[in-house]
Amino acid sequence: MKTHLQHLITQALQQLRQDGALADAELPSIPLERTRDRAHGDYASNIALTLAKTARRKPRELAENIRSALPMSAHVAKVDIAGPGFINFFLTPAAYHTVVGEILQRGDDFGRSALGNGRRVQVEFVSANPTGPLHVGHGRGAAFGATVANLLEAIGYQVHREYYVNDAGRQMNILAASLWLRYLEHCGERFPFPSNGYRGQYLRDIAARFYAEHGGAYLVSAQQVFQNLPPDEIRDEAGDIVTPGNKETYIDAVVERARTLLGDHRYRFLFELGLNAILDDIRDDLGEFGVIYDEWYSERALTERGAVNKTLSRLRDVGYVYEREGALWFRSSAFGDEKDRVVERENGQITYFASDIAYHLEKFERGFDRVIDVWGADHHGYIPRVKAALQALGENPDRLDVLLV
């Protein structure tokens, strides 16, 4: 219908040129948009305002001339002139029915085009941390991201659907330690569960399956696990502190104790067990939802091959990473961010932000013409710092689009 209306306007302009009412110049493309308010019609064009200067005519007067020269159409009920010279088209009820025949005729090809011309686009969406099951918010992101990918594919883009698996870092270690503690409970050990551990029923279920298969092979007494650890912060149901302590320091100490008592091999086995069980659950949920990915991209693989350290070295070489109070900071404020951001903590631990910089740089290096991230609305403040890092690395940040849902 839009093409039909643009054709009518073009015919009207050609008629005005033949009549000498319009300068004999090359006609521009015809602007035509859906109206936001149906009281102003179905479509509106500002072509009269666009041509008024070169035609040396008042926009509204030119709009009236265009309306008078429009050919008759069975799809147009009336045409109004509004404001300084907008041409508003009101469609007949029958006009809406014409598309039905086209849909029936074209079937699955309806709406498809070659607009993308084979350009490569990566769409990353959901990418929930594999520390627990998906929730309704993730489902919303899945529906939105899959729809964006499907629409781009339908108009001729090569689309790569990707899930970024945050399988490295502190939270995954907390998950592994929490799983082990739940397993120890199945072995008969009793202890206060860490206030900052993962407490969901899903972890109890994984621990129960692990115990059923391995029995007491991973058993260590609770006394050995918790002796001489710094105090945890304990609160009552009202949220008041019962036992003062530092829950962050405490859970980190529990993780280190688990590593020490289990040894690298057994600790890694538990780590992988928890990760894979939750990832399998996530894949199943998304699969039932009809969401399929081309790639599940591992943050750990990115880190282990040195991509994060190489990225930080590049930022340091161009002068945008500096040391302060024992930590490494990215000078994101130089690119409009509200403040600089930590990329490596005082203890040498790489931040999620540092990994995200390396991941987005790697996306660009894979040669995608466009990179699209679908994030939750609570991540809006994260956008400037990611784009700042890409710009600091010499990339065009406009190649990255972040859609908030």
Instruction: Report the predicted TM-score, pTM, of the whole model to 2 decimal places.
Output: 0.83
Return the structure tokens found at 21: 């009412």
User: Where is pLDDT greater, at 99 or 6?
Assistant: 6
Q: What is the DSSP letter of 161?
A: E
- The structural domains of the chain, with segments of one domain joined by +, span 2-94, 123-164+293-404, 170-285
Average pLDDT in the chain: 96
CB < 8 Å & 24+ apart, contacts of 47-50:
47/9, 47/13, 47/87, 48/85, 48/86, 48/87, 49/84, 49/85, 49/86
Q: What is the pLDDT of residues 347-395, one digit of tens each?
A: 888 999 999 999 999 999 999 999 999 999 999 999 999 999 999 999 9
Residues 47, 31 contacting (CB under 8 angstroms): yes
Return the structure tokens found at 246: 């530092």
At the top level of CATH, which class does the domain 2-94 belong to? alpha beta
Please state, in angstroms and rounded to a whole number, the distance separating the CA atoms of residues 204 and 24. Answer: 79
Residue 25's pLDDT band, with cuts at 50, 70 and 90, is low
Query: Looking at residue 329, what is its pLDDT?
Result: 98
Query: Looking at residue 55, what is its pLDDT?
Result: 86
Q: What is the pLDDT of residues 296-350, one digit of tens each?
A: 999 999 999 999 999 999 999 999 999 999 999 999 999 999 999 999 999 888 9
Beta bridge partners of 33: 44
Domain covering 123-164+293-404, topology: Rossmann fold (3.40.50)
Give the SS3 label for residue 364. helix
Query: Looking at residue 27, what is its pLDDT?
Result: 81
Query: Looking at residue 54, what is its pLDDT?
Result: 85
Residue 56's pLDDT band, with cuts at 50, 70 and 90, is confident
Q: What is the pLDDT of residues 160-199, one digit of tens each?
A: 999 999 999 899 999 999 999 999 999 999 999 999 999 9
Q: What is the pLDDT of residues 79-127, one digit of tens each?
A: 999 999 999 999 999 998 988 988 999 999 999 999 999 999 999 999 9
Q: Which of 120, 157, 145 is nearest to 363 (CA)?
A: 120
Please state, in angstroms and rounded to a whole number, the distance separating the CA atoms of residues 272 and 173. Answer: 10
Q: Is the pLDDT of residue 24 over 80?
A: no
